[in-house]
Chains A and B, each alone.
Chain A
Amino acid sequence: MEGPNANDREMSNADPHPAPAGRKAIERQIVLPLSKAVEIAYKSIRLRLTRSLLVTSGIVLALAFLMSIRTTQAITDAMREWAANADRSPAFIDLQNRRLVLEAGQAGLARQLASAAKLGWYVPREVVRFNPRRELGRDWDDLQREFSSLPAPAADLTRLLTVQSKYLPVMREWVETSRQLKAVREELSSPQQLTALMQQNGVPTTEREIADSRLQTRWLLGLALLVAFVGILNAMLMSVTERFREIGTMKCLGALDSFIVKLFLLESLFQGVVGTVIGVAAGLVLSVASAASAYGQFVRRNPPYEQVLVSAGLCLLVGVGLTVAGAVYPAWQAARMEPIEAMRLET
């Protein structure tokens, strides 16, 4: 269907970039749309799925590590901050008048007011600055001990209640009161509990310890990321070596160097994005789960949403940047290869 003069017709085609005079027969090759490179890169990943998965899992591990370290740090910081602020706002329960007396703290105050109101306690409009020694002639420790010695609620008394039913209403009120008291006591004593838990878990508390442990984790993180980077570099170099002939063939068919570079960078980018997203999710889930198992309900007291989001964003940048950086050299090596290699190489 194409006549022998197809070639002549070709040359007479209008050319958006006219070649300089004297090179009438040759035009400049067009730069292909990115979508074609995306398509080919995607196919090549699917073809080499096992190795792609290995590379991706390396990225997943490194990024899960990074994300979990950062999330754990954010959670610990948030809890530490909560404990510190809560400590500074003690409260006192006036048992006779069912009155909750609060001293104005910063963050803890609002929470205490809220929980007291939930329990049906009277919360004075103006928060009383309460000094137990001046008001009652007693220490905080003393008061704390009084709370601690309140009887255990319902469970232990159930038997008693069923036997002596005429005392039921009285007992019920008493049980209810003591249950409420227990809740308030827990609310009040929790900062100390949390601090104890954190110490028990070996979380550094002093400024000095915190700085030391940060430095240590930074080293570990650096190593993990370096290992991931070398892994990616190695895999991409293998990918290039494996495809010398394919690359040479494509160049023979008219592929530009930039197209080959795009191909390898995109291949790496796909793996980087998938690996990073999975890694970030895994790291987040793992660190939250481990914090929850260590600190229980305290994790929910002051959840560091913002820091975790920032961390996730940072991890995405690091993960994708790392993979793309690992592909730059191999891609460059692939692109500068002469198409002649396609002819020369044996199998």
Chain B
Amino acid sequence: MTETATPTTAATPTLSEYTVRTIDVKRTYHMGGEEVHALRGVTLSVSRGEYVSIMGPSGSGKSTLFNMIGGLDKPTEGKVYIDEVDIAQLDAYELAWMRCRKIGYIFQTFNLLPHQTALENVMLPMIFAGMKTDEAQEKAAGILKHVELGHRLFNRPQEMSGGQQQRVAIARAFANDPAIILADEPTGNLDLSTGQHIIDLLRQMNKERGATIISATHDHKMLAVSDRIVWIRDGRLDRIQRRQDLKIAEGTIEGEGGERME
């Protein structure tokens, strides 16, 4: 009983059409001899440049799906394609390459390296990608200026506010011009206005750089800017809403006001 996210065209999509496709993805965990079905078959396609939010209560399989899309977890059954490459086929080196260049990660807890400056944090993925130090330095400084942190290049994370840290993290996620940005509750640890700022920045980067943004979130401000919202329940796709179909009131979404209580 699988719902298809978008009506899949019969022809194989061209490389540029979808960045992420999951086909009947199932994921089963073994916990103390018991089988836990985190995902029971999810088929979903995300177009290039799309801004998608994944919603769902705890234990719905939301995080599992999110990790699948990010190449952080492999499906028990079914296929996950990133840029039309089946991630189950990749070895460690190819996975690392993909994480380095194809995907940019943004975490709820920022996850900046504490002993490195903002500039060094943004440079790190570039260094991993084999870029020369001075080249990386220049590019990292450019991106940091773009997220309005040109004046804090040499500050360490602990010397910055939460919003500034998350902006550094965004700059880091965009370091290697990835096709996909995966954001896990990017505003979860931020206050309202800072969160709004981060959302605006993500949306702006999404438009300017054409990166696909996929985020797991409870933040309704985030939903407001999403192109599509994917609801997960019980390891299955529950429903998919397009932005134009949404009725978004100030801070709440119709019928889903309880979401934030989790």
Q: Could you tell me which A residues sit within 8 Å of B by CB distance?
A: 1-8, 10, 19, 23-30, 32, 36, 43-44, 46-47, 245-246, 248-257, 259, 338-340, 342-344, 346-347
The 9 closest A-B pairs by CB, nearest first: A254-B100, A4-B210, A29-B96, A254-B128, A6-B177, A29-B97, A28-B93, A47-B115, A249-B111
Q: Mark B47-90, 1 if CB is under 8 A from A, else 0.
A: 00100000000000001000100001100000000111100011
Interface segment, one of B38-46, B101-109, B217-225: B101-109
Question: Known contacts being A26-B85, A28-B94, is A249 close to B72, with CB within 8 Å?
Answer: no
How big is the B interface, by class?
Answer: 35 or more
CB distance from B147 to the nearest CB of A (A): 14
CB distance from A11 to the nearest CB of B (A): 8
Q: CA separation between A44 and B120, bound complex, in Å? A: 14
Determine whether the beta carbon of B114 is less than 8 Å from that of A249.
no
* B26 interface hit (Cβ, 8 Å): no
Q: CA separation between A19 and B86, bound complex, in Å? A: 14
Q: Could you tell me which B residues sit within 8 Å of A by CB distance?
A: 15-16, 49, 63, 67, 72-73, 82-85, 89-94, 96-103, 105, 107, 109, 111, 113-116, 124-125, 127-130, 142, 172, 176-179, 184, 209-210
Determine whether the beta carbon of B63 is less than 8 Å from that of A246.
no
Among B63, B114, B177, chain A packs the most CB atoms within 10 A around the CB of B177
Determine whether the beta carbon of A44 is less than 8 Å from that of B115.
yes
Among B102, B113, B116, B184, chain A packs the most CB atoms within 10 A around the CB of B113
Determine whether the beta carbon of B99 is less than 8 Å from that of A253.
yes
Determine whether the beta carbon of B15 is less than 8 Å from that of A256.
no
Other A-B pairs, 14, CB within 8 Å; known A6-B210, A47-B114, A254-B176: A2-B177, A7-B179, A23-B89, A26-B102, A29-B94, A32-B128, A47-B115, A245-B109, A254-B100, A255-B96, A257-B92, A339-B72, A343-B105, A343-B107
A-B contact pairs, 30 of them (CB 8 A): A1-B142, A5-B210, A6-B209, A7-B102, A7-B178, A23-B89, A23-B90, A25-B85, A25-B102, A26-B85, A26-B94, A27-B94, A28-B91, A28-B93, A29-B93, A30-B129, A32-B128, A32-B130, A47-B114, A245-B109, A249-B107, A251-B96, A254-B97, A254-B100, A255-B96, A255-B128, A256-B96, A338-B72, A342-B107, A343-B107
CB distance from A256 to the nearest CB of B (A): 5
Determine whether the beta carbon of A340 is less than 8 Å from that of B92.
no
Determine whether the beta carbon of B129 is less than 8 Å from that of A4.
no
